[in-house]
């Protein structure tokens, strides 16, 4: 899919077919990389490779796809190609053993294993199975994968320890996800499916470093991995969760699209580009994150406009969200922020950002002065 199709998708009109294409191309890429990784494993450890092949053959298709699509897998296949085959082999073996156990196949685990999505663990003292909401992202309340996520965004290899959720907190969060799904569906019938497909693994965690703040995050290393920090706080409701899932789902869609059609003419230049001040949040964003933000806020603007029309959330909440989304589009031209560096950014990306801003300024000129 070319990036020029993205504005249509993010207006939430007939977006399923385009999303299908992005997911199919991304899945094909992962499958190719998995084949390459399996070749490396078989070369370095023939016995281990044979065992892994056997597990992959025995697991049913849905289990295979759960491993293939998992952000923990994509990180090892796409973002860390130099990672040693032994590490990849151990991870894949454990992931496929866990899927085999989930499917009640006759396999033995010689150590604790977790699914690649983090929703089930098979431990020496029994199984850990997190509750799930049908039609929502696979949710992880505290697997080893979840505990390694740095909620601060600093990518520290060992984040500080975090306390677990109590059983009553998990019950409340399960209900919150259920209510969020209903609100998304009232906004637009296909949105729960979008949210579930692109937030491939949803991680919920307490954040003792910012105990009073709710936040969400994702990145391009673990594509489709979304975390919600402190979603158990009493003031957090379905409007916060729905906004976060749409926000991070758009990021995942963009990361997948960029795998097929890079946004930068010279990928090595990305790390040397300056940070850009976000006209929405005021934060200093890495250059690539600023480009993505232009698309994310466009999608959120149309999401909240639909939400206001449908009455899926309180009107006051929807209006405030719309005004926040409009803030960045109704200042200076967005492309002015990257002046001097346009030669390294794909022309279609720049053209599409300009088009989105023109649409917003033309369609919402009166709304931005409301309130």
Instruction: For the chain, give the mean pLDDT.
Output: 94
What are the pLDDT digits (tens) for 112-131? 999 999 999 999 999 999 99
Chain center to CA of 297: 15
Over residues 190-208, the mean pLDDT reads 98
What's the pLDDT at 365? 67
What's the pLDDT at 80? 74
Q: Judging by beta carbons within 10 Å of its beta carbon (0-12, 13-18, 19+), is residue 319 exposed, middle or buried? A: middle
User: Residue 133 and residue 19: Cα distance in Å, rounded?
Assistant: 22
User: What phi and psi, each to the nearest 5 degrees, are found at residue 146?
Assistant: -65, -40
User: Residue 318 and residue 305: Cα distance in Å, rounded?
Assistant: 7
User: Residue 91 and residue 48: Cα distance in Å, rounded?
Assistant: 12
Structure tokens at 60: 């049913």
HSE value, Cβ hemisphere, 13 Å, CA-based, for 70: 28
Label the pairing between strands 276-277 and 284-285. antiparallel
* Contact status, residue 19 vs residue 249, Cβ threshold 8 Å: no
Closest to 202 in 3D by CA, of 62, 68, 63, 70: 70
Give the pLDDT band (50/70/90) at residue 371.
very low
What's the pLDDT at 181? 98
What's the pLDDT at 83? 65
pTM of the predicted structure, to 2 decimals: 0.95
Q: Evaluate if residue 201 carries a pLDDT over 50.
A: yes
Give the pLDDT band (50/70/90) at residue 364.
confident
């Amino acid at each position: 899919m070319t990036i020029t199709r993205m504005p249509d998708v993010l207006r939430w009109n007939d977006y399923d077919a385009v999303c299908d294409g992005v997911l199919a191309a991304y899945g094909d890429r992962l499958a190719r990389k998995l084949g390459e990784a399996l070749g490396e494993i078989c070369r370095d450890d023939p016995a281990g490779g044979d065992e892994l092949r056997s597990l992959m053959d025995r697991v049913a298709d849905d289990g295979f796809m759960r491993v293939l699509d998992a952000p923990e897998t994509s990180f090892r296949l796409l973002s860390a190609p130099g990672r040693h085959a032994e590490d990849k082999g151990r991870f894949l073996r454990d992931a496929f053993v866990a899927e085999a156990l989930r499917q009640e196949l006759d396999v033995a685990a010689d150590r604790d294993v977790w699914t690649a999505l983090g929703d089930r663990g098979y431990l020496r003292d029994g199984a850990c199975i997190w509750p799930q909401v049908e039609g929502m992202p696979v949710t992880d309340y505290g697997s080893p994968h979840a505990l390694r996520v740095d909620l601060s965004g600093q990518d520290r290899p060992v984040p500080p320890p975090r306390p677990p959720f109590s059983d009553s907190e998990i019950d409340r969060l399960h209900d919150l996800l259920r209510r969020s799904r209903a609100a998304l569906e009232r906004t637009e019938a296909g949105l729960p499916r979008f949210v579930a497909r692109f937030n491939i693994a949803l991680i919920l965690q307490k954040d003792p470093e910012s105990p009073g703040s709710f936040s969400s995050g994702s990145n391009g290393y673990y594509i489709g991995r979304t975390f919600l920090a402190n979603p158990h706080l009493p003031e957090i409701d379905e409007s916060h969760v729905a906004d976060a899932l749409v926000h991070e789902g758009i990021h995942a869609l963009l990361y997948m699209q960029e795998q097929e059609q890079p946004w930068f003419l010279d990928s090595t230049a990305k790390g040397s580009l300056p940070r850009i001040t976000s006209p929405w949040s005021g934060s200093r964003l890495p250059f690539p994150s600023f480009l993505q933000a232009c698309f994310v806020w466009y999608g959120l603007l149309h999401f909240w406009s639909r939400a206001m029309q449908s009455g899926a959330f309180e009107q006051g909440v929807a209006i405030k969200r719309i005004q926040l989304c409009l803030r960045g589009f109704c200042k200076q031209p967005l492309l002015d922020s990257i002046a001097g560096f346009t030669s390294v950014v794909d022309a279609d990306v720049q053209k599409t950002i300009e088009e989105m801003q023109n649409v917003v300024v033309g369609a919402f000129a009166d709304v931005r002065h409301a309130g």
